[in-house]
């Protein structure tokens, strides 16, 4: 085998985050010479999944080298000795830094199917949406959010009058586009979502937060526009029943996006790509029709293209550092299975492996327009924790201590609801602020940034902070794929492969 230095590479991919790994998958049948490097000793980048020990090593590394990844304010909650004794071995846990719900109508699903890598992944159903009602509300505690028209009819907590207005809204959102839609008067979706619900459908205010939770909005009803919420509620409704009764979204077992990253990397390795971990790109210079790279160990590399993220490319190759939003997040291992959060969502449907629990801002703070806290609760069926425990992934669109305070309050309020199960406690917790973009940043999630140093240097956008997988990532990967292949790229060939002869996949 030729050395890395002696080979003229067609493309060098820097970083093994989900975007880079999907690009590796897209190029795995191209016949190109692909070098894939990562400054980290692990796969996954911002979507990595860690054991307990690996998470602790990651925290120490970021404290010593801040700015290395799109994370800040990292810390680990060390439980009391009696709590630590309830933890299993470190490798019994696989904890994802960037968990995502995957809607059944997402572009990601047909991409994984047409590229033939879906056989190496195991998907599980995401079940109920729950919402917390604070004391003083008409209905207190946890309530299941009706996620379909059938749920609305079956919900005894909703009055008949509210059911009629809610059904009117759901029918409107779910209807397919009309042929003469261009002649119809367009809706004003620039309104705040709360005003849209009131003016168009006379929806009572107590249903604002449940409806907003189906959109996975990380802002309050007054700060969320109808243009954001309506398409996402439609996505939620349209996804139900696609792959089975009663559910509309999925997650990948064994670490979510990290598992998909490794599947993409394996596909390139089978196709002849070369991987080098724990070795990043130190510098990039242009020379005629190629780029000269120096890796972090001093090794020189010649390549035609370089593609990475803003955290995987030298700063001087970027026009400017991206302007990112910041959200507070935490990962908590809990001493209870929280089993009642995972009921079958319909007769004959699967037992869900995850549930979404939403705490509206006004249940945690007296301040106006406090954003909601989302808790994505994963059962042990995900392979992320031992039987009898669960993992809570928490997120709120406020960074630092302010956001972590709201997260702590939400987690404790949830666990208090399970006091009859033996007073579940947090056994271990990783807390951090994550940097990235949301759908409010528009086309930024779909844009691959050109570099002023060379047209052959491409940067993927910062990671999405959305709670559901953002299809903008697929668009960005396709743009990079077309740029690298040039005239060889045809839209109809993107991520569409035949089965490899002689290669068997695990069931």
Q: What is the mean pLDDT of residues 228-245?
A: 93
pLDDT of residue 347: 82
How far, in whole angstroms, is CA 449 from its chain's centroid? 21
User: Is the pLDDT confidence value at 82 over 70?
Assistant: no
Confidence of residue 185 (pLDDT cuts 50, 70, 90): low
Q: Where are the domains of the chain?
A: 8-51+254-322+440-493, 102-176+189-253+325-436
Lowest mean pLDDT among 6-20, 174-188, 452-466: 174-188
Strand partners, 286: 291
The DSSP symbol for 305 reads E
The mean predicted confidence, pLDDT, of the chain is 89
Residue-wise pLDDT tens digits, 451-485: 666 789 999 999 999 999 999 999 999 999 999 99
pLDDT of residue 316: 86
Residue found under tokens 């990235």:
436
User: What stretches of 65-222 show up as alpha helix (H) in DSSP?
Assistant: 81-84, 108-114, 149-154, 160-174, 193-201, 208-214
In whole angstroms, give the CA distance from residue 486 to residue 388: 52
Q: Which residues contact 474 (CB under 8 A, 6 or more apart)?
A: 22, 107, 108, 111
pLDDT of residue 146: 87
pLDDT of residue 180: 46
Q: Is 272 left (phi over 0), alpha (psi -120 to 50) or beta?
A: left
pLDDT of residue 505: 46
Task: Name the phi and psi angles at 217, rounded to 5.
Answer: -70, 135
In whole angstroms, give the CA distance from residue 473 to residue 388: 35
Instruction: Indicate the CATH number for domain 8-51+254-322+440-493.
Output: 3.50.50.60
- Say what the pTM is: 0.94
How far, in whole angstroms, is CA 107 from its chain's centroid? 14
User: Is the pLDDT confidence value at 504 over 60?
Assistant: no
Half-sphere exposure of 125 (CA within 13 A, CB side): 22
Q: What is the mean pLDDT of residues 252-273?
A: 95
Contact 299, 9 (CB under 8 A): no
In whole angstroms, give the CA distance from residue 219 to residue 373: 9
CA distances from 465 to 16, 49, 99, 326, 440 (A): 18, 16, 10, 8, 10
Residue-wise pLDDT tens digits, 112-159: 999 999 999 999 999 999 999 865 444 558 999 987 777 887 788 888
Strand partners, 225: 192
Instruction: Give the three-class secondary structure for 211.
Output: helix
Task: Name the phi and psi angles at 354, rounded to 5.
Answer: -150, 155
In whole angstroms, give the CA distance from residue 15 to residue 318: 16
Residue-wise pLDDT tens digits, 380-397: 999 999 999 999 999 999
Whether 8-51+254-322+440-493 shares its CATH topology with 102-176+189-253+325-436 is answered: no
Confidence of residue 501 (pLDDT cuts 50, 70, 90): low
Nearest residue to 95 via CA among 47, 38, 43: 47
| Six-digit token string for 37 | 């490097």
Confidence of residue 506 (pLDDT cuts 50, 70, 90): very low
Nearest residue to 170 via CA among 236, 250, 223: 236
Q: Which residues contact 174 (CB under 8 A, 6 or more apart)?
A: 234, 237, 238
Greatest Cα pair distance in the chain? 74
pLDDT of residue 117: 94
Instruction: Give the three-class secondary structure for 82.
Output: helix
In whole angstroms, give the CA distance from residue 378 to residue 126: 9
Q: Is 407 left (phi over 0), alpha (psi -120 to 50) or beta?
A: alpha
Residue-wise pLDDT tens digits, 94-116: 999 999 999 999 999 999 999 99
Given CATH 3.30.519.10, say whether it is the number of domain 102-176+189-253+325-436. Answer: yes
């Amino acid at each position: 085998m030729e050395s890395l230095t002696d080979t003229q590479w067609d493309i060098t991919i820097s970083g093994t985050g989900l975007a880079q790994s999907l690009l590796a998958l897209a190029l795995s049948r191209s016949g190109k010479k692909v070098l894939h490097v990562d400054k980290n000793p692990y796969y996954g980048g911002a979507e990595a999944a860690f054991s307990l020990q690996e998470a602790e090593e990651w925290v120490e590394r970021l404290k010593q080298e801040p700015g290395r990844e799109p994370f800040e304010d990292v810390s680990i909650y060390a439980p009391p000795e009696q709590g630590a004794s309830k933890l299993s071995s470190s490798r019994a846990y696989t904890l994802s830094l960037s968990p995502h719900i995957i809607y059944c109508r997402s572009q990601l699903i047909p991409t994984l199917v047409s590229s033939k890598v879906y056989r190496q992944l195991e998907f599980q159903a995401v079940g109920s949406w729950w919402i917390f009602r604070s004391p003083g509300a008409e209905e207190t505690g946890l309530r299941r959010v009706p996620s379909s028209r059938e749920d609305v009819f079956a919900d005894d907590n909703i009055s008949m009058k509210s059911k009629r207005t809610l059904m009117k809204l759901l029918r409107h959102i779910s209807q397919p586009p009309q042929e003469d839609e261009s002649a119809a008067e367009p809706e004003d979706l620039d309104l705040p979502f709360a005003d849209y619900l009131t003016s168009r459908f006379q929806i009572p205010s107590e249903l604002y937060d449940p409806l907003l939770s189906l959109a996975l909005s990380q802002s309050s009803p007054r700060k969320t526009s109808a243009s954001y919420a309506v398409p996402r509620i439609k996505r939620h409704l349209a996804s139900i029943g696609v792959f089975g009764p009663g559910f509309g979204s999925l997650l990948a077992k064994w670490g979510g996006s990290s598992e998909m990253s490794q599947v993409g990397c394996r596909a390139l390795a089978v196709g002849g790509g070369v991987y080098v971990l724990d070795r990043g790109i130190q510098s990039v210079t242009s020379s005629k029709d190629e780029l000269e790279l120096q890796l972090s160990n001093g090794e020189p590399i010649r390549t035609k293209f370089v593609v990475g993220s803003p955290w995987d490319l030298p700063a001087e190759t970027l026009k400017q550092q991206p302007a990112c939003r910041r959200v507070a997040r935490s990962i908590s291992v809990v001493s209870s299975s929280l089993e009642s959060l995972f009921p079958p969502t319909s007769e004959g449907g699967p037992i869900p492996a995850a549930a979404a629990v939403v705490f509206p801002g006004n249940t945690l703070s007296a301040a106006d327009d406090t954003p909601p806290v989302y808790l994505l609760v994963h059962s042990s069926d995900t392979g992320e924790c031992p039987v009898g425990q669960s993992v809570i992934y928490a997120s709120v669109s406020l960074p630092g201590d302010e956001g972590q305070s709201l997260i702590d309050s939400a987690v404790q309020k949830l666990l208090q609801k399970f006091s009859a199960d033996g007073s579940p406690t947090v056994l271990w917790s990783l807390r951090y602020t994550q940097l990235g973009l949301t759908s409010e940043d528009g086309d930024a999630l779909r844009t691959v940034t050109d570099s002023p140093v060379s047209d052959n240097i491409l940067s993927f956008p910062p990671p999405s902070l959305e709670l559901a997988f953002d299809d903008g990532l697929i668009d960005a990967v396709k743009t990079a794929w077309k740029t690298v292949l040039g005239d060889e790229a045809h839209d109809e060939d993107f991520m569409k492969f035949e089965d490899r002869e002689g290669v068997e996949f695990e069931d």
